[in-house]
A = this chain, B = another copy of it.
Amino acid sequence: MLKIGIIGAGRIGKVHAESITKYVKGAEVIFIADPFLDEATKQWSTSLGIQHTSKDYHDILTNPEIDAVLICSSTDTHSQISLEAIKAGKHVFCEKPVDHDVNKIKEVLKAVKNAGTKYQVGFNRRFDHNFKAVKEAVDAGKIGRQHIIKITSRDPEAPPISYVKISGGMFLDMTIHDFDMVRYLSGSEVVEVYVMGGVLVDPEIGAAGDIDTAIITMKLKNGAMAVIDNSRRAVYGYDQRAEVFGSEGAVAVGNDKSSTAVLSTKEGVVSEKPLYFFLERYMQAYTSEIQEFVAAIVNNTDVPVNITDGLEPVIIGLAAKKSLDENRPVTTAEIKNIFGL
Which residues of A does B touch, CB under 8 Å? 22-23, 25, 47, 129-130, 132-134, 137, 142-143, 145, 147-148, 150, 154, 192, 194, 196-198, 200-201, 213-215, 217-219, 223-225, 227, 229, 231, 233-237, 239, 245, 247-256, 258-273, 327-329
What separation, in Å, do the CA atoms of A329 and B328 have in the docked complex? 7
Most buried by B among A154, A217, A259, A327: A259
CB-CB nearest 8 A-B residue pairs: A249-B265, A133-B259, A133-B261, A236-B264, A254-B260, A22-B22, A268-B270, A147-B200
Number of copies of this protein chain within its complex = 4
Contact residues in B for A233 (Cβ distance below 8 Å): 247
A272 near B261 (CB under 8 angstroms)?
A: no
What separation, in Å, do the CA atoms of A196 and B214 have in the docked complex? 16
B264 near A253 (CB under 8 angstroms)?
A: no
Contact residues in B for A197 (Cβ distance below 8 Å): 225
Partner of A225, one of B23, B196, B265: B196
B223 near A235 (CB under 8 angstroms)?
A: no
Q: A150-B229, A194-B196, A227-B227 are in contact. Are A201 and B258 (CB under 8 A)?
A: no
Partner of A148, one of B132, B213, B328: B213
A261 near B224 (CB under 8 angstroms)?
A: no
A231 near B215 (CB under 8 angstroms)?
A: no
What separation, in Å, do the CA atoms of A150 and B297 have in the docked complex? 43
What separation, in Å, do the CA atoms of A252 and B154 have in the docked complex? 15
Q: A256-B260, A261-B251 are in contact. Are A154 and B225 (CB under 8 A)?
A: no
